[in-house]
Each structure stands twice: as structure tokens, then as C-alpha cells.
Amino acid sequence: MIGRLFYLAAGAVIGGYAVHRVNRARRALTPGGIAERVEGQVTEYRSALRELNEDLARAVREQEEELLRRYAPGRRALPGAGEDPEAS
């Protein structure tokens, strides 16, 4: 008797999980689900590009400062070099 109850409970759990997965897959394939997925990816790419842009700008500023120190010792910074690029 206990064995039958165990299999009944296990079947109910597995069935509920299968229904949950099917509903989730079905929602993901609707136009709204696809739009959400694409929007999430675009947001990730946008933030990655923003980070890349910030890193490149920082590297360029550091390189410019190094060149100024090396070849123009009288000048300490380029005009606008101390400004925060996000403040503009």
C-alpha cells in the first residue's frame, strides 16, 4: 500500500513539473515571450558596449596622459581630460 502511495505521489510531482515546463515553454514562444527575451539580450549587449566604451575611453586618457608626461612635461592634462564623460 505504501509503495502505491509513493508511486502516486511521485507521478503527481513529475506530472506537475512536466505541465509547468510545457507552460513555460509555451509562454516563451508567444510573441510577448520572444519580445521579452530579445529585449533582455539587447539590454545585456547595450550594457556590455557601454562598459567597453568606458574602458576604451579610460585607456585612451591614460595613454594620452602618459604621452604628455613623456613628450610635453610642461603640460599636465589635455583640455577636458579631467571631465567625467557621463556628465556631458
What type of residue is 70?
R
N-to-C CA span, the chain: 74
Mean pLDDT, each 10-residue run in order, the chain (88 residues) = 91 97 93 92 97 97 92 70 52
3-state class of 31 per DSSP?
Answer: helix
What type of residue is 39?
E
pLDDT at 73: 78
Question: How long a stretch of residues is the chain?
Answer: 88
Domain extents for the chain? 2-71
Query: Looking at the whole model, is its pTM more than 0.95?
Result: no
| Contact between residue 68 and residue 78 where contact means Cβ atoms under 8 Å apart | yes
Q: What CA–CA distance (Å, rounded) separates 2 from 5? A: 5
